[in-house]
Structure 1
Amino acid sequence: MKKLYSLYILIITQGLSLVGSRMSGIAIGLWLYQTKGTTMYLLLIPFFNEITAVIFGGIAGIVVDRWKRKYAMMLGDLGQAVGTVLLFVCTFGNNLNIYLIYIAVIIQGIFTLFESIAADAATTMMVTESHIDRANAIKEMTFPMAGIIAPVISGFLYVIIGIEGILLIDFVTFIISVVILIFIKIPEPEIQEYHSSEDNNFIKDMSTGFMCLLKVKGLFGLTLYITFINFMLNGPLELVIPYITKINGNSFVLATILAIMNLGAFMGAIIIAVYEIKLTRINTIILGINISSVMFLIFGIARTPLFLGGSLFILMIPLPIINAMFKSIIQTKVTASMQGRAFSAIAQISNAIVPLSFVITGFLIDNILEPAVAGPNWKVIGYFLGSKPGSGIGLILVVTGALILIVTLIVRRIPNIKYLEEKS
C-alpha cells in the first residue's frame, strides 16, 4: 500500500511539472508560428527535444540503473529547470532568440530523458505485475490532462503575466517536484551480475539495453514497429494547430478542438485504468493502432469543426492505451535491474528516426504540398481534399493513416510479434 501511495504521489508531481512544461511550450510555440509564419520553426522544437536521446540515451540508461532511481528523477527535474531558466533569460525585452530557444530545448530534452526513463523503471518496483497495466495507464493520464489544463491556463495567463510569467511557473513546478521526490521512498532492484568488475565497462555497458531487447524473440521487432508508428504520428500530429488555423481561423474553435483532442487521450487512459481489457497486450496495441489510422484518414478529409474534433477525439483514445501496453511488455519481459538501459535503448532507436518526422513533415508542407494546392497538378487530389489552404496538410494526414493501416496489417501476421507474450 505504501508503494502505491508513493507511486500516486510521484505521478501527481510529474503531472504538475508536465502542466508547467506544456504551458511554456504552448506560449513559445504560438510565438514562433505567429512571428515566423511557417511550420518548420514550430516543428524544430520537438525535433531538438527528442534528438538528444540518440546521443545521451545510453548514458541515461546506465545512470538510471547504477544510481538510485529517485536521484535520476531529481537530476532530470533540476536539469529541465535549468533549461527553463535559459528560456526565461532570452525572453527579456520580448525578443526571443530562436537559437537560444533551441539550445534550451536540447537541454530540457536531455534531462527529460533521465526523468522519464527513471520513472518507467521505478514503476516496476512499486506495483505487482498484475497491476502494472493500470499503473502505466494512470501515468499516461498526466499527458492528456496536462494537454487539457495547460492551454486554458496559459491562454488566460499569457495576457496577464506574459511569457516570462508562464516560464516562471514552469520553473516552480520543477522545484516542487524535486522537493517532493526527496521524501518519496522508491524501492531499488537487486544488484545483478552486470555490476561485476569484469563487465563494468562503460562502452560495453551501453550496449546491454539493446541486448535485452534482442534476447526476447519479437521484442526488438515490436520496438521497431512502435518506432515506425511514432515516426508516422509525431510530425502530422504537430500539424493540428496550423491545419485547423488554415481551415477555420477561429481561435475559439482551435482551443476547443485541442481540448477535445486531449480529452480523447485522457479517456483512453481512463479506459485501461478502470476496465480490464480481455485482449492480449499485443492484440490491444494492434487494434488501437488500426482505430487511430482510420481516424487519421477521416481527419485528413474533414473540414467542419464537428468532424475535425470528433475524428481527433477517437484518434487519440487508443494512444495512451498503446503506450501503456508497450511499457508493460518491456517491464514484464526485461529484468528490473536492466530496465533503465532497456528503456534508454528504446529511446535511442525511436529518437534516431522519429524526430526526422518533424523535419520531413515541415519541409513537405512549406515547400511542396501547400504551394502545390493552387497549381494545376492538384486538380485530381483537390477533388477529394479540396483546393483551399490546408489541403496540403490534409494530404499528409490521409497518407499517414493509409500507411499506418497497411503496415499494421502486415505486422499482425508476424509470429514472433503476435505471440510475444507467450514466450518466456
Structure 2
Amino acid sequence: MNATRPQVAPTLRTFYTLVLTQTLSLIGSRMTSIAIGIRVSVDTGQAAPLLLVAFFNELPPMLFGSAAGVLVDRWDRRWVMMLSDAGQAVGSLLLLASFLSGSFQLWHLYVIVFLQGTFAMFQSPAEDAVTSVLVADAHRDRANALKQMAFPLAGVIAPAVTGLIYPAVGIAGVVAVDMITFLVAVAVVFRMHIPQPPPSEEGKAASGGFWRELRGGLAYLGSRRALLGLIVYFTVFNFLLNGPLDLGIPYLIKITGSESTTGLLLAAMNAGALVGGAAITLRRKTWKRINVFMPAFLLTGAMFIVYGTSRSPIPLAISMFWLLFTLPLGWGLFTSLLQSKTPPDMQGRVFSVFSQLGFVASTTSFLLVGPLVDRVLEPAVKPGWAFTPIVGDQPGAGMGLVLVVVGGVILVMTIVTYALPVIRRIETDLPDYQV
C-alpha cells in the first residue's frame, strides 16, 4: 500500500511563498540600512544624520497611514504589494545612481527614504489583510508566527552578510543586492493568485467616496470598544517599548564593559524573538488568544525590571531572552485576533490605523528617551543618589532606571487592561468573520 503525502492547500502554498519572498526583501532592506549607517558614520562622525534617516522613513506612515488603508481596501491587494516593492526598488535604484555617480549628498538619502517610506506604508496592512484570505483562522496563528519570525531572522542574517560583502563591494554593491530582492518580490507576487475579500455588510455600509471610507474604518473601531481598547493598549505599549529597547547597545557596553559580551547578549535577545515566534504554534485551540498574550506581556514587564537591575551576563541574558520571547508571541496572536474580528474587506483600513498609531508611538519614544537619558538621568547618577538601592550608581544606572520604570508601567497597565470584562470577553462577544 502506498502512503500518500498530506496535501498543502494552494492558498497556504501562496502564503508561504509570499512570506519567503518578503523575508528576502526585508533582509535586503536591513543590509542597506546597515551599509548606510556605516557610510554616514564614517563620513560625518555624527549620530544625528542616522536619526533623521529613520525619521524621514517613518514620516509617511505617521502622517498618511490611515489614508493608505483606504486604498489597500479599494485596490487589488496583489497589485498593492507589487506597487510597494516596485516603489522601494526605484528608491534603491536612485540611491545606487547617487553613489555610483559620486554626487551623493545627505539630502539625497533623506528624499529617497521618504519615498521608500511612502511606498512601504502600503506593505504591512496589505500583507496582514491578504493573510486572512489565504489562511483559515485555524492556521492563522502559525501563519502570523512565521511573519513575526521574519524580523529577528533578518536581524541575524543581514548584519552577517553585510559584514562579509561590504568590504568587497561597498555601499553600492549592498544597495544593488537590496534592489534585486525588491524586484524578485515583485516578480513572485505577479505570478500569484490572491483571492479578493468577500464583501461584508459593514464594508458596504462604509463604501462610497474616499473620506467616507476612511471615516468608515474609524467608525468600525469606534463601535467596538474592546478592539479599540486593545489598539490603544498596544499603542501605549509601543511607546513604552521602542525607545528603551533601543538603549540596548550603550546600556550593555556600560554595564558589562565588553563589546564581545554585548554581542552575545544581543544574540540571546534575537534568539528569544525567534523562539517566541515559534512558540505561537504551541497554543492550544481551547485557549483564547487574549488569555495567552496578555499574561505574556506581564512577563514582558517583569523582564524589563530584571533587565534594568541585573549586573552580570547570565541574568542579563535570561531577562533579554524572555523579554524578546514575549513580543512576537503577543503581536502574532493579536494580529490573528484582529483578523478574525474585522471584515476582510475592511482590514486594510483597520490595520493601517493600528500601524499609523504604532509609528507615532515608537517615533515619539525614540525622540524622548535619548535626550532623557543623555541630558537628565545619566548626568544625575552619582554615589548615593536616590535610586542606588534599585539600579546602583555605576555608569548606565540612568538607563537601568528607565528600564525598571517601563517594566513597572507595563505591569500595571497590563493588569488594569486585562481586568476589564469587555477585554477578557472580546473573543466571545464579537463575531468572527470567515472568508
Q: Same fold (TM over 0.5)?
A: yes
Residue in 2 that maps onto 1:233:
241
Equivalent AA in structure 1 for residue 213 of structure 2? D
Q: Deviations over 1:247-306 (max 9, x none)?
A: 345443333322221111110111113553653111212111111111111111223333
Structure 1's 187 and 399: CA in aligned 2 closer, same or farther, altered over 3 A? Answer: same
Residue in 1 that maps onto 2:433:
none
SS, match of residue 387 in structure 2:
helix
Quote the offset at 1:197 in angstroms.
11
Quote the offset at 1:119 in angstroms.
0.5
SS, match of residue 118 in structure 2:
helix
Deviates further, 241-250 or 178-187: 241-250
Quote the offset at 1:395 in angstroms.
1.6
Quote the offset at 1:193 in angstroms.
6.4
Q: Distance in 1 between matches of 2:126 and 2:88?
A: 15
Residue in 1 that maps onto 2:420:
414
Percent identity, aligned pairs only, is 39
Contact 1:39 1:242 in 2 (8 A): no
Structure 1's 306 and 97: CA in aligned 2 closer, same or farther, altered over 3 A? Answer: farther
- From 114, 122, 126, give the equivalent of 1:118: 126
Contact 2:85 2:119 in 1 (8 A): yes
Equivalent AA in structure 2 for residue 239 of structure 1? L
1:72 aligns with 2:70: no
Residue in 2 that maps onto 1:268:
276
**How many residues are paired up?**
422
Contact 2:307 2:320 in 1 (8 A): yes
1:308 aligns with 2:308: no
Quote the offset at 1:110 in angstroms.
2.3
Q: Distance in 2 between matches of 1:44 and 1:247?
A: 28
Contact 1:54 1:349 in 2 (8 A): yes
Residue in 2 that maps onto 1:372:
380
1:49-60 equivalence runs, <5 A: 49-60=57-68
Deviates further, 292-301 or 267-276: 267-276
- From 330, 351, 376, give the equivalent of 1:343: 351
1:317 aligns with 2:322: no
Contact 1:209 1:341 in 2 (8 A): yes
Quote the offset at 1:191 in angstroms.
4.0
Q: CA RMSD in A?
A: 2.7
Structure 1's 28 and 297: CA in aligned 2 closer, same or farther, altered over 3 A? Answer: farther
Q: Distance in 1 between matches of 2:257 and 2:53?
A: 23
Contact 1:288 1:318 in 2 (8 A): yes
Q: Deviations over 1:343-387 (max 9, x none)?
A: 1121223333332001001221222222223x57x7232443233
Equivalent AA in structure 1 for residue 92 of structure 2? T
Quote the offset at 1:196 in angstroms.
7.1
Equivalent AA in structure 2 for residue 396 of structure 1? V
Structure 1's 291 and 197: CA in aligned 2 closer, same or farther, altered over 3 A? Answer: closer
Equivalent AA in structure 1 for residue 135 of structure 2? V
Q: Please report the TM-score for the alignment, with normalisation by the length of structure 1.
A: 0.91
Contact 2:289 2:333 in 1 (8 A): yes
Q: Deviations over 1:159-214 (max 9, x none)?
A: 33333322222121111111111111111112456887994211221122212222
Quote the offset at 1:218 in angstroms.
0.7
Residue in 2 that maps onto 1:169:
177
Q: Distance in 2 between matches of 1:229 and 1:173?
A: 32
Contact 2:66 2:356 in 1 (8 A): yes
1:398 aligns with 2:399: no
Quote the offset at 1:46 in angstroms.
4.1
Contact 1:77 1:112 in 2 (8 A): yes
Equivalent AA in structure 2 for residue 10 of structure 1? L
- From 265, 268, 287, give the equivalent of 1:279: 287
1:353 aligns with 2:338: no
Q: Please report the TM-score for the alignment, with normalisation by the length of structure 2.
A: 0.88
Contact 1:209 1:343 in 2 (8 A): no
Q: Distance in 2 between matches of 1:84 and 1:406?
A: 44
SS, match of residue 379 in structure 1:
coil
Contact 2:238 2:361 in 1 (8 A): no
Contact 1:40 1:362 in 2 (8 A): no
Contact 1:47 1:356 in 2 (8 A): no
Contact 2:203 2:346 in 1 (8 A): no
Equivalent AA in structure 2 for residue 169 of structure 1? V
Contact 1:80 1:107 in 2 (8 A): yes
**Higher CA-based Rg:** 2
SS, match of residue 218 in structure 1:
helix
Deviates further, 120-129 or 22-31: 22-31
- From 135, 144, 147, give the equivalent of 1:136: 144
Q: Deviations over 1:87-129 (max 9, x none)?
A: 4455569997544434333333222221111100000001111
Contact 1:43 1:238 in 2 (8 A): no
Deviates further, 106-115 or 401-410: 106-115
Residue in 1 that maps onto 2:395:
389
Structure 1's 91 and 196: CA in aligned 2 closer, same or farther, altered over 3 A? Answer: same
